[in-house]
Amino acid sequence: MEQPAAAVAAAAPEEGRGEEAAAGWAWSWGAGTDGQLGNGGFDDYHLPQPLLLPIRCRGRVSLVAGGGAHAIALTSDGEVFTWGRGTHGQLGHGNLDSIAHPKSVKFLENHTVTCVSAGWNHSGFATDSGKLFMCGDGSFGQLGTGDNHCRNLPFEVAYFTTRHIEKLALGMRHSLVLLKDNSVYGFGSARRGQVGQCASRNEKSHNVPRLIAGFADFKIVNIYANGDHSAALDEYGHLYIWGRALIGEHDNDQPRAVLPSLSISQVALGWHHALVLSERELFIIGVYRHQKCDLPVPGNAAGQQPKTSAARSSHDVSSSMTTLQKVPHNDGEHVVQIASGTEHSALLTDRGSIFTWGWGEHGQLGLGDTSDQVVPQRVNIGVSPGSRSVYCGSGFTIAVGLV
Amino acid sequence: MSAYDEVEIEDMEWNAELKAYTYPCPCGDLFQITLEDLRLGEEIARCPSCSLFLTVVYNAEDFAEAKEPPQKPGPTPVAVA
């Protein structure tokens, strides 16, 4: 479904909405059939395309959150843009339309948003005053509103009215929030333990936020969610993981400290893998599930363990083989940022280079084809005047210049 | 080619528009299996956008004469106080 370059160029001015089209500083590539590339089209693209954020946002984008098929961009002064699939109201524009260009979320105009996150079909926004707003699919209670309704405008989560939200992280069907008082709450699907311990086995979801206990007494600096996985990182670089098992078959409904010997600075979760960055070394826990067992395993294989259960179907063979692998290094460049989609990942180096690897069927690696890659490959997005950031949604990737 | 994942039918969502049970596909689209498929004992849910497929775990007897599930409340505009 790759489009000729001319079609892309033609789309840019039209969707610029009166503002100068934003070529040359923000890009997107991969699955695009719901408009999640924000490039004015509804097709997949296998090479970086201009992402149509207004030019006034240039150098001001502080975070982009990629969901199932939508995305949220946050600027350094607290403005929020959304685009892509809107079927459940996840764009927060008061309707169910999908749009192929970033659009400012009017509802949040009078708030200064400081953190955003995107789940499969839901979105969350935290403000400088500590308020939490949610919209999109609520059928698993993932909006935390005490019901299972969808919302197409950001809706303040009343449970936290007297508390101060610092960060949020949304997974496929669940949500996590980190409060200023260092507590972590979860809501939404509880099927794999991703929102913590259930009072009974019959509880499949929670639409009222619940405290997740089990962390050591250190300050938690970040939380992460994707698929049915949850994670938190504390100030000393200790990583906690809970939810669906990344390795083997045993889900965890309590935060479990993993990799105690590493001091971890960044984490990125996929649906069957996690990336951890520790002192410039990049590791992967689990595997890209789409890859079949006959693919070679990258790097050293120090973490391999024998398959423990013989009774599972063939797709489990690969997932139970691998524990922790070092991701091969690239040309003396140091990794400074990591991101994961469902089955692909991206990294940014200290020289501003972007590398991608994993599943490539929709062009989400940005290498001009639909091949999978076992080791990180350099994406060619031309000369950048300054530093960049890279972000992933389920089947797509976004890069933004910071200058 | 093996299945991308294995999912229990109770973790799938009924989609009245598609007339199928669905589950998120990592590409952004949905794995789908119709009621008719389930009645026939089919256990593969496919994604219309990519090559991946799921194995669906369910009790065939439950679907031998199954009817369409009631529709869930859809997304509605909700005013914020």
Dist CA A110 CA A322 (whole Å): 48
Examine the pLDDT at A21 and tell me if it is beyond 80: no
Q: Is the dihedral of CA A43, A47, A50, A53 positive or negative?
A: positive
Mean of per-residue pLDDT scores for chain A: 87
Task: For residue A119, give every residue at least 6 positions away whose Cβ sits within 8 Å of its Cβ, in sequence order, or none.
Answer: A67, A68, A136, A137, A142, A170, A171, A172, A173, A174, A175, A225
At B70, the pLDDT band (50, 70, 90 cuts) reads low
The superfamily in CATH containing domain B5-62 is DPH Zinc finger (3.10.660.10)
Cβ within 8 Å, pair A292-B2:
yes
Residue A389 has pLDDT above 80, yes or no: yes
Closest Cα partner for A255 from A277, A223, A227, A281? A223
**Cβ–Cβ < 8 Å for A210, A198:** no
In tens, the pLDDT along A291-344 reads 644 444 444 333 333 333 333 333 333 433 346 888 886 678 899 999 999 999
Sheet strands side by side (includes A99-104): A61-66, A70-75, A80-84, A99-104
Share of chain B above pLDDT 70, in %: 84
Q: Are A313 and B74 a contacting pair at CB < 8 A? A: no
Sign of CA dihedral A50, A54, A58, A61: negative
More confident residue, B65 or A237: A237
Of the residues B15, B23, B27, B31, the best mutation for testing chain A's interface (the one with the most A CB atoms within 10 Å of its CB) is B27
pLDDT at residue A372 is higher than 90: yes
What is the pLDDT at residue B16?
Answer: 92
Q: What's the confidence (pLDDT) of residue A1?
A: 43
The answer for A4, left when phi > 0, alpha when psi is -120 to 50, beta otherwise, is: beta
b/e burial code for range A236-266 (CB count within 10 A of at least 16 → b): ebbbbbbbbbbbeeeebbebeebbeebebbb
Whole-number pLDDT of residue A4: 45
pLDDT of residue A384: 61
Is the pLDDT at A376 greater than 70? The verdict is: yes
Read off the pLDDT band of B65 (50, 70, 90). confident
Q: Please tell me the predicted confidence (pLDDT) of residue A330.
A: 65
DSSP letters spanning B14-32: EETTTTEEEEE-TTSSEEE
Half-sphere exposure in the Cβ direction for B26 (13 Å, CA): 32
**Closest Cβ–Cβ partner in A87, A292, A395 for B26:** A395
Cβ(A237)–Cβ(A262) below 8 Å? yes
Using the Cα atoms of residue A366, residue A370, residue A376 and residue A377 in order, give the sign of their dihedral: negative
SS3 A56: helix
The helix or strand, by DSSP H or E, that contains position A40, with its residue range, turns out to be none
Whether ipTM exceeds 0.95? no
Of A152, A376, A145, nearest in space to A397 by CA:
A376
Domain ranges of chain A: 26-288+320-401
Q: What is the pLDDT of residue A43?
A: 98
H-state helical runs in A193-308: none
Contact B55 A315 (CB under 8 A): yes
Q: Considering only the beta carbons, identify the residue of B13, B28, B76 that sits closest to A149.
A: B76
* Residue A289 sits at the chain B interface (C-beta within 8 Å): yes
Nearest to A98 by CA among A33, A52, A27: A33
**With left for phi above 0 and alpha for psi between -120 and 50, is residue A77 left, alpha or beta?**
alpha
* Pairing assessment for the beta strands B5-8 and B53-57 based on DSSP bridges: parallel
A296 vs A76, higher pLDDT:
A76
Min Cα separation B66/chain A (Å) = 23
Report the candidate in A299, A269, A297, A295 with the shortest Cα–Cα distance to residue A281.
Answer: A299
Contact A139 B72 (CB under 8 A): yes
Yes or no: say if A151 and A139 are a contact pair by the CB < 8 Å rule: no
* Better-scored residue on pLDDT, A19 or A222: A222
> Per-residue pLDDT averaged across A223-237, rounded?
97
| pLDDT for A36 beyond 80 | yes
Average pLDDT, chain B: 87
Q: Which residue has the tokens 């990942």?
A: A345
- Architecture per CATH, domain A26-288+320-401, reads as 7 Propeller (2.130)
